[in-house]
Structures are given as structure tokens and as C-alpha cells.
Chains A and B, each alone.
Chain A
Amino acid sequence: MTEKKTIAMTNDDGAPLFTWPSENPQLIGAKCKTCGEVVFPKRNQCPICYTETMEEVLLSTKGKVYSSAVTFLAPWSGFNKGKVPYEVAHVELPEKVLIATRTFPDLKTGDIAPLPIGTEVEMAIVEWGEDEKGNTVMMHTFRPQKTRA
């Protein structure tokens, strides 16, 4: 029997979207050595200057909500058996890159509450579900930054 693993969600090219397993997981993007443009997920050719000088970079784990919405209708195509309603968002990182993401204000209960544009958030890795091989797949989310006590 093959050993079941806990793995990161991957892009269509099989590359993990973030470092995992890791104490301090970070999203994996790419930065152009020629013009400095940063993209997520990583790609091989710069969308701004069209050179092939992209190198892998780890992205900031904190950012702010660029836009968000709450969805009440479950998608039918390949969606995990997640509950509705659920939140979708784009988070802007300091590197000027947008991350499409789920946002969970409360990771334990899954309770949703709108995260307005501008909310300061930080990345958290949560369990998405099992893939067809029985591996546990983790996904990135963002939640409000903890305020200091």
C-alpha cells in the first residue's frame, strides 16, 4: 500500500502552490529578474517584459483584501464538499500581486463574516479534503490578522 501523505494544493503543472510541510508556509510565486514583476502562481515567461527570466520567490504571508464576496450556491465542477455559504476573495500582497483565495474568519467553526475591502489579513493553511489517492490536500486561505493583546 502506498503511504498516504499530506500535500499542498498544486497548480495544473503539478507544482505546489505553497511550501509544505512547513512551520511557516509561504505561497510560491515568481519574480522577473529583468523588470521585477511578481506573479502567482509561478510561470516561466514574464507577462510584462516577455523575457524568460523568471525565478521562484516565496511571497509575503500578510496582505489586505482587494475584493471579496460571499457565495451561496455551491459550484458543481470539482468543488470539494465544502459548506455554503462560503467566502471568496482576492488578497493583495505587498509585492503587488493578487492571490485568489478563500477567507475564513474563524478556522475552527468555519463561520463566515464578510471581510471588507482593505481588511488586513494573514495566510493560514487549512485542510481542503482528500484527493483520489487518499492524500490529504491542504489549501491556502487568508484570515484577519491577529491584533496584539
Chain B
Amino acid sequence: MPKGAPGVPAVTKLDLRIPPPAPKLPRKVYVMGVGLHEFGRFADKDYGELGRVASNRALEDAGVPWTDIPIMYATSMQQGACWGTKVAISMGATGIPVVNMEAACCSTSAAIAQAAYAIGSGAFDLALCVGAEKQPRGYIPTLDMPAWMRSMGLGTYPGLYAQMMQRHMHEYGTTIEQMAWISVKSHKNGAMNPIAHYRNMGEVTVQDVLNSRMVVTPFTIYMIAPTSEGGGAVVIGSEEAVKKYGVRKPIEIAGCVQSSMIYEWDELLYPPSLLRITAKQVYEQAGIGPEDVDIAQIQDGMPVGEIEGLEEMGFCEMGDGGKMAEKGITWIDGSFPVNTDGGYMTRGNCIGATGAAAMAEVVYQLRGEAGPRQVTNVDPKVGLAHNMGAGIQTSIAILKK
């Protein structure tokens, strides 16, 4: 982060209700390999196939044979039951434990956290975390909300994020042009990302974004993430595993925390204290502060995610989140690149695999393997991957090279 990162805002309202400290990682845990299946629409592929392709790419990247994997964590939001065994079966079932996990958009990052705790505590030396999704077009079904909200038309995520954005505009004067700049940046990055849902869409201008179809005020369609199909996988392991398989560029998971909702009377969808507390926990776990972070992936399903994420995780002053893209700070050639793969907005929100995609991009950047998307103005040593999802849940991981 550029000099002068103000740090995480104070948690004032909830001082008496701070949740337990973040879990400890008694030994070091590394990302050994990452692999993504393209995001988009794949009528000819089922969940098992999307997960299989992503898993094989991650295993190949790590140099680990499938038959050496002792445990698999599989994630999805919309597959019903036993989705993980479908992946295992399509890869040739080996009898390992398959843990199915669902945490909305945090699913894979939550699974990576659980796998990191399992490896960090010594129970396992290796784990495969894989997520994928098959999903209909249109709104994500808001199954975390009561039926009355859904039937009254109140239970849509864009509708709720729009109301968060309206509050932010009211309190800080954030403009619709600033939101459009986030979309312009995302489209530019997404166009350079071979797995992005909108990889063929090309670049757009602020005017294009503002002129695109209005979905929910103030968000036009170019500001809203597509619901994508696809897959993502991450192989993580202990220091012993890194040595055993001769991993070229291991990336340490210096911190990873998953959190759920903390009640606040004015909660809408993006309760600030949840993000502040989680950020404090993960910085403490990693022994760093926001000023030490060089690049970040931040949930940007809609612009308010990136804007508030930048503020609540301590990368800019409260109310300045909208200025970061407008000023170029968060671009690939800026001083603090954010969502270099296009983020949710153009890479796509493949719910069950989104966390893997965020982590993969940070890994590519830290290894210097992001190709045309490689950041140019910083030499990244520490990266942060953040996700935020229904429930309400959030997860943050800090990766170090």
C-alpha cells in the first residue's frame, strides 16, 4: 500500500462484543498451486467436469499427483448435495474425505481457511480446495433472506447493495462517475484475463458505463458482476510438502480469517464492523498492517464492494474509496492495484469458485506470472484476497512471497 494508509477504522459500536481471536496457524502453510476453469456459460459441462478441469490445472501447477491428495474441500452455493464427490468421481475416486462447504461468495476462501487450519495444526500435509458453479442467469437466489423479503421484491443483492451505495453517496458525496471508473478499470483488466467471463467484451469508457442499461439506481448493467459458471482450485500444503514436491514459487498463507455477521441495528448488507473486525484479525494473524499490502482482490460485485472494502480494510480514509479508481491508484499501473483480473465485475462471480479465483490472481501477481496484467508500478511481496457474501459472511486471506 502507498505511504499514508490510514489503517482500519475504529470499531466503536461493538467494543463489548468483539468475537474470539482469529485461529492460530502453529506451522506455516503455503499455496502450492492454483488452477482455474474459464468463467462464463458452459451448457456442455456439469459441476463435476468444471471442478475436475480446475483441480487438474491446480495439481499440475503444484506438481502434485491427484492420488497423493489426502483430503478435498469442495465448495458451491447452488448444487444441492454431495457436489464434492462428483468432482472426485470425475477425477477417479480415491476414497479420500470430501468436505462439502458452502459460504456463498466466500465459499472457496472459507474452504481454504479450513484447509489451512487443518494443515497448520498438523493433521494433514496437503489439501485440495475446489469450487465450481452451475447457475441460472439473472439474480442470484437470495436464500438467506426470509420469503416475505423475496416475495416483496426486497431480497435482491443488487437492490440491497444499491441502498448501501445510496447511503455512501449521501454521507460522503461519492459520485456515479467514480463508480463508472471502477467499471472501466475492471473491463480493461478483464479484457486481459483469458479466463474472465467478459474476456471478449473489450474496454469501455465512463460514458459507455453510464449509458448502459439501468438495473437498480445507481448501478447500470456494466457495474454489476455477471453470474458465471466455471471452476477454481487451490492446492495448499505444509513446508514439508513444498520441499517434497519441489514447488518453484511457494506463496505463504500468512493469514486467513472467515467471519460471519455481527448484529448492528442499521445493518443492510455490508455491515462495516464485520469487515473492520475481520481485517484487524487477519492483519494481526499475519503480523502486518494495511500499509504493508502491495496488491488486493476486493469483492466488487457492485462498485460499493470495492469502495467500502478499500475504506474498511484501512487502505484509504472513510469516504475516499470512490476516488481510488478515478485517480488511477487502483489500476494495474497504479500504486495500489486492486482487482487486476477484472474482479467479480468482469472476471465474473462464479459463486462457489470466486474465492479460488481471487486467491489465484494474487498468487499469479506475487509470482510475477500475471502476463499482460502484471502490475508495473509495484514489486508485490504481500497480497490480500477478500470476499464478501450472503449470510452475511466475509473472508480475508493475506499471501506473502
Rounded to whole Å, the gap between the CB of B9 and the closest CB of chain A is: 20
Q: Is A51's beta carbon under 8 Å from chain B?
A: no
* B159 lies within 8 A of A88 (CB): yes
Q: A98-B266, A117-B170 are in contact. Are A69 and B217 (CB under 8 A)?
A: yes
Q: Which residues of A contact B268 (CB under 8 A)?
A: 67, 90, 98
* A100 lies within 8 A of B266 (CB): no
* A9 lies within 8 A of B152 (CB): yes
Q: Is B26's beta carbon under 8 Å from chain A?
A: no
Q: Which residues of B contact A74 (CB under 8 A)?
A: 153
Choose among A11, A73, A77, A89 the residue that contacts B146 (Cβ–Cβ < 8 A). A11
Q: A11-B146, A12-B146, A128-B151 are in contact. Are A66 and B167 (CB under 8 A)?
A: yes
Q: Is A101's beta carbon under 8 Å from chain B?
A: yes
Rounded to whole Å, the gap between the CB of A40 and the closest CB of chain B is: 10
* A71 lies within 8 A of B156 (CB): yes
Q: Is B10's beta carbon under 8 Å from chain A?
A: no
Rounded to whole Å, the gap between the CB of A80 and the closest CB of chain B is: 6
* B148 lies within 8 A of A86 (CB): no
A73→B217 CA distance, assembly (Å): 11
Rounded to whole Å, the gap between the CB of B227 and the closest CB of chain A is: 12
Rounded to whole Å, the gap between the CB of B253 and the closest CB of chain A is: 32
Rounded to whole Å, the gap between the CB of B110 and the closest CB of chain A is: 23
CB within 8 Å of A: which of B253-276? 263, 265-268
Query: What 10 new A-B contacts, CB under 8 Å, besides A74-B153, A75-B139, A75-B156?
Result: A11-B148, A67-B167, A67-B268, A69-B162, A70-B217, A75-B150, A80-B151, A90-B163, A117-B170, A139-B152
A9→B154 CA distance, assembly (Å): 13
Q: Which residues of B contact A10 (CB under 8 A)?
A: 148
Q: How large is the interface on B (under 10, 10 to 19, 20 to 34, 35 or more residues)?
A: 35 or more
Q: A69-B216, A70-B217 are in contact. Are A79 and B163 (CB under 8 A)?
A: no
Total residues of chain A contacting the partner, CB 8 A: 40
A9→B17 CA distance, assembly (Å): 33
* B170 lies within 8 A of A72 (CB): no
Choose among A37, A48, A68, A97 the residue that contacts B163 (Cβ–Cβ < 8 A). A68
Contact surface of A with B, Cβ cutoff 8 Å? 9-12, 17, 37, 41, 47-48, 66-80, 82, 86, 88-90, 92, 96-98, 100-102, 114, 117, 128, 139
Q: A10-B148, A68-B166 are in contact. Are A75 and B155 (CB under 8 A)?
A: yes
Choose among A70, A92, A102 the residue that contacts B216 (Cβ–Cβ < 8 A). A70
Q: Is B138's beta carbon under 8 Å from chain A?
A: yes
Pairs across A and B, CB under 8 Å, 9 listed: A12-B147, A67-B167, A75-B138, A76-B138, A79-B152, A86-B153, A96-B265, A102-B152, A117-B167
Q: Is B149's beta carbon under 8 Å from chain A?
A: yes
* A88 lies within 8 A of B154 (CB): yes
Q: Is B158's beta carbon under 8 Å from chain A?
A: yes
* A72 lies within 8 A of B214 (CB): yes
Q: Which residues of A contact B146 (CB under 8 A)?
A: 11-12, 41
A89→B170 CA distance, assembly (Å): 14
Which of B142, B148, B165, B216 lies at the interface centre, i.e. has the most chain A CB atoms within 10 A of its CB?
Answer: B148
A117→B172 CA distance, assembly (Å): 13
* B147 lies within 8 A of A79 (CB): no
Choose among B150, B167, B266 the residue that contacts A79 (Cβ–Cβ < 8 A). B150
Rounded to whole Å, the gap between the CB of B161 and the closest CB of chain A is: 9
Rounded to whole Å, the gap between the CB of A32 and the closest CB of chain B is: 12
